[in-house]
Amino acid sequence: MPSTFFTEPPHWRWLIVLYFFIGGLAGGCYFLAALIDLFGRITDRPLARLGYRIAFPAVVVCGVLLIVDLGRPERFWHMLLQSETWRPMFKSYSPMSFGAWGLLLFGLFAFLSFLGALGPDANRDGLGRLRPPALLGTVIAILGGLAGFFLASYTGVLLAVTNRPIWADTTLLGLLFVVSSASTSIALLLLLGSGRVFLIGGLRALQRFDIGVLVLELIAIVAVIASLGSVARVWLDVWGVLLVVGVIGLGIVVPALLHLRAHAPTALSARAAALLVLVGGFLLRIVIVLSSEAV
């Protein structure tokens, strides 16, 4: 029996599942917004604004979820400051310590970009300087995008750096989570932007992007299962059904086919695809977190 089966679960349940999902959306939406601002067309900028407007509230929700989940919520700041000396508390080899600082840093960039996204897209003065193409905005978008990637992926690394079954039996959860955060964030932007016909160009690019990301996500899930080896037998029950039917079937394969068939990203089938991707992304986190908790 693998050594991970001699350990105890940390009672990370629904709040953590929600955090992983919303954190993925926060990081992913910010990355997409930065990508659109830096590489998209001027007509795509409302989509980027949407991304910034999602990222900051989402990261605030993330912070609240994490604090509420603590056994002693009033001591949340012990993650950042040493309680005795008030010096910074940072352990580069502890993903949770790294993650606490990453979340704070991402929150800062998300807040600045959120401010920048409050005004009209064409505004290059005042708060508009917090968004590309202004130099300050470009720097914020690049650093914030990288922090967004970190937020989307470190949770998978955090799970791997434990001794629990499934989580510590593969090193691919960080990769899977970052890909899934991209697919769910694209889906959210597609869904919220689909009512605006004038965004059709950007939405079409997002749709193309989503099909590629869904294929990558499918490959990542298969790779995770293969890397688990005999441990994957844990999923030969309701978790496996949820993974195959819910995550792979309804959350990846069906949406990819719907995207391919949809004549436009604003079509009903494209919206349905986006909704399914979001549901699949949430189910993925449920399966990964709770199936190990159940062992």
Partner 1 sequence: MAEPMGFYTDTTVCIGCKACEVACKEWNQLPATNGGRNTLSGDSYDNTRRLDGIHWRHVKFIEQFNADRSQGRWLMMSDVCKHCVRAGCLEVCPTGAIIRTEFDTVVIQSDVCNGCRDCIAGCPFGVIDINPVSGTAQKCTLCYDRMRAGMEPACAKACPTDSINFGPIRQLKEMAERRVGQLKQGGESRAYLYGADDKIVGGLNSFYLLVDKPEVYGLPADPRLPSRNLKPSSLWATVGAALIGIMGVISFRSRGRDHA
Residue 38 beta carbon to partner 1: minimum distance, rounded to whole angstroms? 9
Residue with smaller CB distance to partner 1, 70 or 226: 70
Residue with smaller CB distance to partner 1, 88 or 135: 88
Residue with smaller CB distance to partner 1, 58 or 79: 79
DSSP secondary structure, 214-278, as one string: HHHHHHHHHHHHHHHGGGGGGGTTHHHHIIIIIIIIIIIIHHHHHHHH-SSTTSHHHHHHHHHHH
Residue 130 beta carbon to partner 1: minimum distance, rounded to whole angstroms? 21
Residue 288 beta carbon to partner 1: minimum distance, rounded to whole angstroms? 13
In contact, 253 and 244? CB cutoff 8 Å: no
Structure tokens at 292: 């190990």
In contact, 25 and 188? CB cutoff 8 Å: yes
Structure tokens at 135: 């130099």
Residue with smaller CB distance to partner 1, 3 or 241: 3
Residue with smaller CB distance to partner 1, 117 or 213: 213
Residue with smaller CB distance to partner 1, 210 or 276: 210
Signed CA dihedral, 178, 184, 188, 189: sign only: positive
Residue 171 beta carbon to partner 1: minimum distance, rounded to whole angstroms? 4
In terms of Cβ atoms closer than 10 Å to its own Cβ (0-12, 13-18, 19+), residue 284 is buried
In contact, 154 and 282? CB cutoff 8 Å: no
Structure tokens at 284: 């993925």
Residue 148 beta carbon to partner 1: minimum distance, rounded to whole angstroms? 9
Residue 35 beta carbon to partner 1: minimum distance, rounded to whole angstroms? 5
